[in-house]
Amino acid sequence: MTFTAPQYKTEYLTESMIERVNNRFKVDSIESGRNFYPVLTYEVNRKYIKVFDSKVYDGVQRDGRSVFMFIDKETGAVYKPASFKAPAKGIRFFIEQLEENPDLVDPYGSFLYVR
């Protein structure tokens, strides 16, 4: 499989955004005295990068995960999930926007809803 420059860029930006968001989620949890927080991970598939959400309780990551968002590998377009396998219609953000402003990302995914 050959990769193009936009795919590398999109994956790099996704990884960077996830790292910053995960750090913020953990710090927010510690500062508020909670013993749980969400952790985002990603998986590169044929067309999309799937970002997953799982929970950490008392420092232990629990089994089970849900799709948090889909990112188009070519364009960097961010979509809300419609199901575990497919995104909803309509671009919600671009990964560049979320990487530059990680504060837009909340633990509940409400930033992906159309307003």
31-57 tens-digit pLDDT: 999 989 999 999 999 999 999 999 999
Q: Residues 13, 47, 49, CA angle at the centre, nearest 5°?
A: 35
What secondary structure letter does DSSP report for 112? G
Residue 5 has a pLDDT of 61
pLDDT, the chain, mean: 91
Is the pLDDT score of 95 beyond 70? yes
Is the pLDDT score of 92 beyond 90? yes
Residue 114 has a pLDDT of 82
68-107 CB burial, b ≥16 within 10 A, e <16 = bbbbbbeebbbbbbeeeeebeeeebbbbeebbeebeebeb
Element holding 102 (H helix, E strand): none
| Domain range summary for the chain, segments of one domain joined by + | 5-99
Strands 93-94 and 77-79: antiparallel
